[in-house]
Amino acid sequence: MNRHTLLLLAIGTLGITTAFAQTAMEPAPDDAATVTAPIEPESLPLDELRLFTEVLHRIKRDYVEPIDDRTLLEHAIRGMLAGLDPHSSYLNADDYAGLQEGTTGEFGGLGIEVSMEDGYIRVIAPIDDTPAARAGVQAGDLIIRLDETPVKGLSLNDAIERMRGAPGSEIELTISREGVDTPLTLRIVRDIVRVASVRGRLLEPGYGYLRIATFQARTGSDLRDHLLRLQGEGGGLYGVILDLRNNPGGVLGAAVEVADAFLERGEIVHTGGRAADSSVPFNAKPPDLLKGAPLIVLVNEGSASASEIVAGALQDRKRAVIVGRKTFGKGSVQTILPISNESALKLTTALYFTPAGRSIQAEGIKPDIVIDKLRVAAQEASPTEVKEADLARHLDNTTVPSPPAATAEPPANTVLAKDDFELFEALNLLKAMALMQHRANAEAE
């Protein structure tokens, strides 16, 4: 069998496998699956096939080291998918298993969601309480070196493989960060990453806080459990802040469940692509677990994919006020197409659209109220400030209680303002919304 025959057989086999996989798609964690009928084969461009065959022949004959046909063809498949967009890729058996592990919330590595941009690795978001987050990796960082290896020239899968490793082993990331003149070097110790998808607490009596770090298979049910617990602890809730900052996305079904928890009815999201049956709507059903109480969604540049679906749905349905900064803009649907040798294709097949028909892709969700990155620092009183108590012959107020001791802890909201100014501002807004709703309800009675 000559090389030309071998190549055509390989292409034919791939074509048959792909057509079969399209009738048995499984959803990727991060996105929806659409089921399409096998497509009719199109005529192949003979000139380009001859070029491909010639390149294959030259590599096999002249490359500095011998390389087998299987490896060359796998490289060709990877390159073909990588050339489409940052999210399409070929998954070998190990990659496929790793992708499936990600939906369970436990996997090995750094705890970082990344994409490829101009040959470098762009950090979408570090995941809460993971090695990457603790080391100071930030959303928007560009990773330019992994240990001594430049990222430029590596595929996304190759870079991810290098970042993986045994728990306890170290890796050095060289990072370019906006606003920082020189590259940063971070040494990170790999660990087993266990992601608690949902956390919740009361910020003040009656005001709940729910944080979703990533969307996993159980996120919807976990959010409902936390919400019910907070309602019991506070004797009811006046309002809730849903924090999706630096949430890189995850399972589509979980995003739909989270949005559904706060909606009575109506569309949450729909997908649309080239295939006739790629338009799939996802709708809410009663009840709204908050019963119409005010809701604020916190987002930033690290909020992507499933996070943007939730924020876009609640914004379009006028159910929540979106606060923070413009989101990442990852609005494409990846479908997992399993193929016969335990590998799979992760292929972009459609785009997400909000209930109002807005595409999230490369646009993101614009918040209703923008809060820039700020930190609050303590400010000493100015010596030129004059108050009533400083005036000569001022009247004393003998009913004023003694001030608290100097060792007393500062008020909780003061601590919150210093630790997380965005959350502090969101809480103030939530209180105002709850007050206005209470007044409106009182007038209606």
Which residue carries 């292929």 as its tokens? 347
Percent of all residues in the chain with a pLDDT value above 90, rounded to a whole number: 54
Query: Cβ distance 330 to 360 under 8 Å?
Result: yes
Q: Is 49 a residue whose pLDDT tops 80?
A: yes
Q: How far apart are CA 267 and CA 66, in angstroms?
A: 56
| pLDDT of 410 strictly over 50 | yes
pLDDT of residue 93: 83
Most confident of the ranges 97-101, 174-178, 340-344: 174-178
Query: In the prediction, which pLDDT does 27 show?
Result: 38
Least confident of 7-11, 210-214, 350-354, 375-379: 7-11
pLDDT at 12: 26
The per-residue pLDDT for 369 is: 98
Question: Check: CATH 3.40.50.300 for 106-194?
Answer: no
**Structure confidence at residue 348 as a pLDDT band (50, 70, 90):** very high
**Residue 22 above 80 pLDDT?**
no
pLDDT at 373 over 90: no
The Cα–Cα gap between 261 and 256 comes to 9
pLDDT of residue 328 exceeding 60, the answer is yes
pLDDT value of residue 117: 81
Pairing of strands 207-212, 198-204: antiparallel
pLDDT in the model for residue 399: 59
In the chain, where are the structural domains located?
3-97, 106-194, 195-335+348-395+406-445
- Contact yes or no for 271/280 (Cβ under 8 A): yes
pLDDT band at 411 (very low <50, low <70, confident <90, very high): low
Q: Report d(CA 90, CA 397) in Å as an integer.
A: 76
Which positions are catalytic?
305, 316, 330
Average pLDDT on 355-382 reads 84
What is the pLDDT at residue 382? 57
**Residue 390 DSSP symbol:** G
Mean pLDDT score across all residues of the chain:
83
Look at residue 237 in the predicted model and tell me its pLDDT: 95
With 80 as the cut, is the pLDDT of residue 257 above it? Answer: yes
Per-residue model confidence (pLDDT) at position 296 = 98
pLDDT digits (tens, 9 = 90+) for 269-315: 999 998 877 789 999 999 999 999 999 999 999 999 999 999 999 99
pLDDT tens digits for 144-164? 999 999 999 888 878 888 898
Tell me the whole-structure pTM to 2 decimals: 0.74
Average pLDDT (406-414) is 55
Neighbours of 89 (CB within 10 A): 24
Average pLDDT over residues 391-398: 73
What architecture does CATH give domain 195-335+348-395+406-445?
Alpha-Beta Complex (3.90)
The answer on pLDDT for 104 being more than 60 is no
